[in-house]
Amino acid sequence: MSSSAVARFAREQVVEPDAIARARQTALELGAAPISPSVGAQCAVIAAATGARSMIEIGRGAGVSGLWLLHGAPDAVLTTIDKEPEHLAAARESFAAARVPSSRVRAIRGRAADVLPRMNEAAYDVVLIDADQDQIIDYVAHGLRLARPGGTVLVPRVLAGGRVADPVARDAHTSDLRSLISETLGSSSVFASLNTADEGLLQITLPRS
């Protein structure tokens, strides 16, 4: 059986909750490019396995990634950062439709590059980074600072549509992603894994001590 057939089979097994499916449709209408159901399900598993109580996502979109995180950790508080007021409004409606209490979601409007330096260090169990791909290296550095010991930083879209595996692709963004992947997976100071489902998901977990 080909690897593409296996990937298709695995992708088709993901059952996306109705509220997230509706948020996905809204995101597509806005052009907000939501994470895939496969990647979303993996994020939910990480949030659940971590026993997350405090999570932050950089790039809110229409709420798809946030809803997946809260699906895995329904008692957690989620902080979201996005610079687009239209995205913030759409996500607010998605959370309300999913019956997520407003006390569980804190929205911050602004550029992540401006907001992240002001966020508390070692304050979050899960950090999801899905914004401004051209600044991904800086955002991951911030994410590692924000994560608690034992916390996990999640970075979707690291396969860049397959370009990271193409030696001909040498643009700056693709090169940054290759470096991020190789340096992270080769690091002895974190636990890291690369999930190749759909757009890809880099998972970086900090040691507990």
Q: What secondary structure does DSSP assign to the chain, as a single string?
A: --HHHHHHHHHHT----HHHHHHHHHHHHHT--PPPHHHHHHHHHHHHHHT-SEEEEE--TTSHHHHHHHHH-TTSEEEEEES-HHHHHHHHHHHHHTT--GGGEEEEES-HHHHGGGSPTT-EEEEEE-S-GGGHHHHHHHHHHHEEEEEEEEEETTTGGGGGG-TT---HHHHHHHHHHHHHHT-SSSEEEEE-STT-EEEEE----
- The answer on pLDDT for 122 being more than 60 is yes
- The answer on pLDDT for 25 being more than 90 is yes
Predicted confidence at residue 5, as pLDDT, reads 87
- The answer on pLDDT for 18 being more than 70 is yes
* 52-111 pLDDT, tens digit each: 999 999 988 889 999 999 999 999 999 999 888 898 899 999 999 999 999 999 999 999
Confidence bin at 2 (pLDDT 50/70/90): low
* 173-192 pLDDT, tens digit each: 899 999 999 999 999 999 99
- The answer on pLDDT for 48 being more than 70 is yes
- The answer on pLDDT for 38 being more than 70 is yes
Are 44 and 69 in contact by the 8 Å Cβ rule? The answer is: yes
Out of 102-111, 130-139, 196-205, least confident range: 130-139
Handedness of CA 14, 18, 20, 23 (dihedral sign): positive
Mean pLDDT of 142-149: 97
Predicted confidence at residue 114, as pLDDT, reads 93
pTM summary value: 0.93
Predicted confidence at residue 59, as pLDDT, reads 87
Mean pLDDT of 20-41: 93
